Structure 1
Amino acid sequence: MKNKFYFIIFLVVSNFANAQTNFEKGFYINNNNSKVEGFIKNTDWKNNPSSFEFKESENSDAKIVSIDYAKEFEISEICRYVRADIDIEKSSNKLQFIGYDKDPQFTNERLFLKQLVYGSSNLYKFEENGLEKFFYSVNNAPIKQLIFIKYKATSENNQNGKYSSGDVLINDLFRRQLWTDVKCETITQQNIKSTNYTATDLTKYFTKYNACKGDLVSTKIKTKKVMHNLKAAVMYNNSTLSVESYNPSYSTDFKNSGFGFGLEYELILPFNNNKWGITFEPNYTTFKNEQTLPASNMGGSPVIAKTEIKYFQVPLGIRHYFFLNSNSKLFLNAVANVRMIPRKKYLVEYSDRNFYEFAPTSFSAAFGIGYTYKKITGEVRYYPSTNISQHAYIPMNFSNTSFILRYEIFGKK
């Protein structure tokens, strides 16, 4: 029943989310070089788009404008994308995908490149599923890729035998490109040597070059950074422990409420308008209850069953926000949780000296819905039933609903 309840909430909030991405004032340049002003849907693209939604006015219907019909588009003071028919190499920097080619293997593609810096020199970025490649142009020359390739050593590309087969080497041709094409009096070889193949370093370098060339305004799009929050948390828990013994006399349900406390660290990811976050919330919780079980035979005495658990949880989750206004927002959580109980210290004990042990570690999922207003957050989180028994044939299923109140004690925006 609880799962159905959360599923319904998820559908309602997901439908509500469709209205959460705003249309911002902007324009695009069509194939006739005409500037078409209006409103563009700001989805804060992580991967470079191949189209965008456009409205001529705030109240008009939206239409899809594909890359074939727009030479560039811009959301005012937020982002700018430029169309380019360009040679691109897409070698990966991830260890498991690094190849053996030192030289770039180009394919020609039509892309929207995100412009990071423009002026006397221009810097562009292409991103696709974690792959980042950078491009540049100087004085309106054709756009070219800055080359940075990681590759593995082989007998062919390592003829002097300096490296072992399989060692990861780097072709950092982009530094030579900067020295040849994007250099002026104030730039030294040390400046280029210290410039890494990242958006932050390259943006700084191209901005320095444009300033050297005397650009009155060297516009750059601000690179979004990861944001951090640290929150103190207090939780009120409604918990149930169901013991299913092979001896029906020892089967029982423990139910109780109690408090816990913890700290939540939240990482807000720098895309999709800061709607996604990763959470880590270690916490400490207690559960204690006692039940009287009927006697197992005629004339016998009732059996007292009791349990006490003091346990740590380490939930790691993904959070999605739905903004209501600048101060308040709803969110959904999906969590993977590790529950740790000190072994043999906490048990299910019976007055006839029988006892059952808890597993020292158990795993569970959890789902939550919450609301944030400024620095205060409230959440309802449900941990479905999970077997926490140490005994293979005696399930002890533990479930919990937490009502969590948090207060932000540190935030880096």
Structure 2
Amino acid sequence: MKTIVHAFLLLFSVYGFSQINYEPGYFINNQGVRKDCLIKNLDWKNNPSEILYRFTQDGDTQTAKVAEIAEFGVGEESFYKRFKFNVDVSGVSLYDMSHKKEPIWEEQTALLKVITKGDVYLYKYENSDLVRYFISVSPHDKVEQLIYKQYLKDESVIYENNYFRQQLLLILTPGQSTTRDFDKLKYTEKDITALIAKYSTSATGQLTYKDLSGQHGESVINFKAVASASLVNFNYQENNSSYSFSESKPALGFGVEVEAVFPFNKNKWSFFAAPNYQVMSKIEGNEGNNSYSVSYNFIEIPAGVRHHFFLNKKLRLFADAGYRLAIPTGSAISFQGLNLEIQNAFRSFCGFWH
């Protein structure tokens, strides 16, 4: 038996996504000249290798590469500065994790994202799954990586090099010996930013720094009801026999969808799962002298990635791609007095919706 399920989902939900536009910004070139312009705000996850800009909304689009940009900013949410630096490129997954405690240094030039401004600047370097934090002090002409590294011993035990705690202790509390706030500090943007905030408060209670970490956005979880109308096609051909039958019946279903929206690229990427239960009308018929009946109800679990496309301010499309598992429940096929087992179905899918 060959079973093909085509599901057309009717989705009911309310979204809050931002469209990628050219927004007011600036960049400073190698001669120190500031150019105010409109920059295409891609809400970069990785450190950008270039920017697209215009001087008017209808003007020609121009490109500036890393080598041409000393600094740039878009609105109040994205600031980047170019540095030449050494970065630890040690692997972060078990598959390629190092057996050495010391960093594996590589010299790079990149635009680092500014997380905090003030007496102490915090920067973020991100390249796929590699995330590193950097710090600078006045006059902020060079950066130093905050060192954190996981490494293996004996192929099974993971150790940590937490030297970044000592680095921050020396920079934020010179001449002091207290380590309570540093001993359990985690190598995360949230924890490091909070620590800098605590030690960047003047005697009058005024902050001596600006926190930009919250401008990037956060992950969002969406829930929505899912109704489905499916066409289920059954095609059966008995081996070594001319006996066969083919039927199509609609199936109705209901369920829920959970979508985790990623906090980058203007929330255009997400992961979703939409478990639902579908019920098909019973099939009964005769093929020659042979009778048959089919009852098919199933739990369907599609899961995958989603990308949103903004055609204009009101019209949005999205593309899904992933895998779908169909698990029969209360289902049976019988013909000529015999009962057949319906097995689970697992296949890939892709499609566009709006």
Alignment TM-score, normalising by the size of structure 2: 0.87
1:195 is matched by which residue type in structure 2?
A: L
**Between structures 1 and 2, the one with greater helix share:** 1
CA contact (8 A) 1:138 1:182 kept: no
Q: 1:331 deviation in Å?
A: 1.0
Q: 1:143 deviation in Å?
A: 1.1
For the residues of structure 2 that align with 1:233 and 1:370, how far apart are their CA atoms?
A: 14
For the residues of structure 2 that align with 1:332 and 1:260, how far apart are their CA atoms?
A: 21
1:260 is matched by which residue type in structure 2?
A: G
Question: What do residues 199-225 of structure 1 show as CA deviations (whole Å, max 9, x unaligned)?
Answer: 111122222232347445524242421
Residue of 324, 336, 350 corresponding to 1:367: 350
Residue of 157, 160, 168 corresponding to 1:170: 160
After superposition, the CA RMSD in angstroms is 2.3
CA, structure 1 residues 152+292, in 2 after alignment: closer, same or farther (shift >3 Å)?
closer
User: Which residue of structure 2 aligns with residue 55 of structure 1?
Assistant: 54
Q: 1:62 deviation in Å?
A: 1.0
Mapping of 1:252-267 within 5 angstroms? 252-267=245-260
Give 5+ residue unaligned stretches, structure 2: 1-18
CA contact (8 A) 1:185 1:212 kept: no
Secondary structure, in 3 states, of the residue corresponding to 1:96? coil
For the residues of structure 1 that align with 2:311 and 2:122, how far apart are their CA atoms?
A: 35
Residue of 205, 217, 220 corresponding to 1:227: 220
User: Which residue of structure 2 aligns with residue 375 of structure 1?
Assistant: none
Q: 1:328 deviation in Å?
A: 5.4
For the residues of structure 2 that align with 1:355 and 1:56, how far apart are their CA atoms?
A: 72
For the residues of structure 1 that align with 2:311 and 2:44, how far apart are their CA atoms?
A: 20
Q: 1:165 deviation in Å?
A: 6.2
Mapping of 1:299-318 within 5 angstroms? 302-318=289-305
Mapping of 1:11-410 within 5 angstroms? 21-141=20-140, 142-153=142-153, 166-183=156-173, 189-212=179-202, 214-215=206-207, 218-222=210-214, 223-246=216-239, 249-295=242-288, 302-324=289-311, 329-342=316-329, 346-350=331-335, 352-359=336-343, 361-371=344-354
For the residues of structure 1 that align with 2:177 and 2:186, how far apart are their CA atoms?
A: 15
Q: How many residues align?
A: 332
Secondary structure, in 3 states, of the residue corresponding to 1:200? helix
User: Which residue of structure 1 aligns with residue 15 of structure 2?
Assistant: none
CA contact (8 A) 1:254 1:291 kept: no
For the residues of structure 2 that align with 1:196 and 1:207, how far apart are their CA atoms?
A: 15
CA contact (8 A) 2:118 2:208 kept: no
2:84 is matched by which residue type in structure 1?
A: D
CA contact (8 A) 2:135 2:146 kept: yes
What percentage of residue pairs aligned between the two structures are identical?
27
CA contact (8 A) 1:27 1:39 kept: yes
Secondary structure, in 3 states, of the residue corresponding to 1:178? helix
Secondary structure, in 3 states, of the residue corresponding to 1:207? helix
For the residues of structure 2 that align with 1:186 and 1:242, how far apart are their CA atoms?
A: 78
CA, structure 1 residues 166+217, in 2 after alignment: closer, same or farther (shift >3 Å)?
closer
Q: 1:326 deviation in Å?
A: 6.0
Q: Runs ≥4 in structure 1, deviation > 6 angstroms? A: 184-187
Q: 1:327 deviation in Å?
A: 6.3
Give 5+ residue unaligned stretches, structure 1: 1-19, 154-163, 296-301, 372-413
User: Which residue of structure 1 aligns with residue 8 of structure 2?
Assistant: none
